[in-house]
Every structure is written in C-alpha cells, then in structure tokens.
A = this chain, B = another copy of it.
Amino acid sequence: MLTRPDVAIVGAGPVGLAIAWRCARRGLRVVVHDPAPGSGAAHVAAGMLAPVAEAYFGEHELTALLVESAARWPAFAAELAGAAGTDIGYRTDGTLVVGLTADDLAEARRLWAYQQGLGLPITPLRPSELRDREPALTPRVRGGALAPGDHQVDPRRLLPALRAAAERAGAALRPAPVARLSDVFARVTVVAAGCGAAALTGLPVRPVKGQVLRLRAPGRGAPGFRHVIRGYADGESVYLVPRDGGEVVVGATVEERGDTEVTAGAVLRLLRAAVELVPELAEYDLVEASAGLRPGTPDNAPIIGPLPGRPGVLAATGHHRHGIVLTPVTADLVTELIVTGEPDPLLAPFGPDRFVPEKERGWN
C-alpha cells in the first residue's frame, strides 16, 4: 500500500504548481493531479504583473492582494529561475497606459486618477513623453501614464519552470483527471483546478473566455517597443506585451462563455486596436490565435482557504484575470496554512465561506 501524501493538489497550473513547489520544499510529500499539466488558462495568458493598472473601482481588497503579490514577484522569480535552472522571461520595463482618442484618454484617466488616489505608482505623461519612451506608438496617441512597477513574465516559460522546480523539490505529478475529491488520497487536498473547481467543490467559479493573439516581429528580431502597452483605442481595450524573443502578445477579450473557439470578430477587434496603437504591428507575423477560460467569481476576487464542510480541503482558485500575478502570494499563504494550520490575516477577505450560506458554515 502507498504512503498517504501530505498534500494532494488538483490542477497543475501556476497556482497549483507553485503550491506544490513551496510545500515540497518544506519537506511535505506532495502529489499534483492533472491530466494535462500547464494546459489551462495560463498557457494562453499574457503574463502581465499589473497590480496598478489592474486596480479597479470597488476592488480594494483585491488590489491590496495584487500589490502584495507583485511585491513578492522579484524574489519569487529569482528563486524560481535558480531552482528550475531556466529563464522565465521576467521583465521590469514597466507599463504604459495610453489613450488613442480624447474619449479613450478620458476613460483611461478616470481609472488612473483612482489608482493615484490609492497611492499607487502611476505617473501621467504627455504624448511627446510617451513617444520619447516608445517611438513605436502612433503619433495619434492623445496621452497616457507610466506604471513603472507593472511588470511581466512569460507564462510559457513560467509553467515548465514551476513544474521542474516542484519535481526537483520532490513533488510527484499524476497525469490523470480527478472526477471527485473523494478519489484523492492525502492529508490535505488543495483544489487549484481553475474553472474545474466548480464541479469539484460547488464553488461559484465560472469560465470567462479570453481570446489572445501572438504576433512575431519580422526576421525574429526584438519587438520595436519594450514596455507593456495597455491601450484604449476607439473604445476598445487592448494590451500589447513584448518579449525578448520577438513575440508580442495581444489580448484579450473578456467574454461570459465557456467555449474556446477563436472568432473572426474578436481577432478583428484585437488586431485593429493593436495596429492603431502601434502601426508597425501590421508587418508582424500572426503566429497564433487562441482562447482560454479564466476562473471568474461573483466578486472578481480569488477563493483561497478552507472549504466549509469539507475538512482537509482547501480552495485556491477563482483568480480570474490575476492568476499569474497572484501566484506567489497564493502559494506562500496556502503553504503557511497547510504547515501551521493558521490562516494569514491577508486571506480573510478571500475565504470560500463568503459564498456559503451562513447556516451551512456550521458544518465546518
């Protein structure tokens, strides 16, 4: 008979693999279950680490968690690159927020004024200052801002690095699906299954489709810009993430549906906005169009903590648009919870119990 693992993790996305790595490094016996490791939402994701530009009205607690996790990213990236022995494409060039038309600029400004009000680092720039920083921007840009602390990582490097680090630390991968949690054999089970968490736990996690393009600079040179560019272009919102190898990720739609088809209309909207903001992108190769399903929640915040009525089961899902940036803090706090049994106060707003009717919570 097999020894019971300390921790079983359902889902080998970045959150699940980072928890596996952290737990294994603490000496726990860890098993990760996933029929197709690394093939979920993160495979399609752009990898923006954007606590500031992603700070939206009415999401104070989420913003605080994004800021906390982003602050952990430099050390996390360095440690992971060392543990895995590979580069993960972590870049700190900062993010430019730009508005193409006066209306676009007004919308962008409304948001960055809010972000400034929270004390977050974002600095308005005139069109000439934007173009000094990125001459590839269209001269039509009406204005924008710099978020110097909004960085990026390459999810397609991050995922194999996390897997390698977890396995080197002793975690085992089981490439088979988990149909129900009672099939999992461990002291603690962590459900980090993205949208799949809904069927396993009953939590209100729903798929939010995102369509994303991958372009490549001609001749495989570096793209003609260094910053992440988040643009508003004729009412369309788009981001452009340049990578060292020549790739530019263009994303992303936000659609309340659960299929992963690529549609003509979405590709058209993304390309139109991208080329309006950075005209040279018209000459880039279009190498991939794909769609992923983000795990959305009713309040857009992740679900991290003990599952009411299910002793020994923790949730770490519902990261929606923020799975990559929230990976370090999620992994750290879940690992601490497993090792010490005590939840960090940072987790208080994100417990699964917020979605469970009060009368049912007593079961825990």
Contact = CB atoms under 8 A, between A and B. Distances in A.
A167 to B, nearest CB: 36
A271 B268 contact: yes
A272 B268 contact: yes
Interface string A262-288: 111101100110110000011111110
Copies assembled: 2
A215 interface: yes
Nearest to A263: B285
A289 interface: yes
Interface string A45-83: 000000000000000000000000000000000000000
B271 A264 contact: yes
Given A271-B271, A272-B272, A265 B285 contact: no
Nearest to A287: B262
A244 interface: no
Given A271-B271, A272-B272, A264 B289 contact: no
Contacts of A103: none
Contacts of A213: 264
The 5 A-B residue pairs with the shortest CB-CB distance, nearest first, are: A265-B282, A268-B271, A261-B285, A264-B286, A262-B286
28 contacts: A213-B264, A215-B264, A262-B285, A262-B286, A263-B283, A263-B284, A263-B285, A263-B286, A264-B271, A264-B274, A264-B275, A264-B281, A264-B282, A264-B284, A264-B285, A264-B286, A265-B275, A265-B282, A267-B267, A267-B271, A267-B286, A268-B268, A268-B272, A268-B275, A268-B282, A272-B272, A286-B289, A289-B289
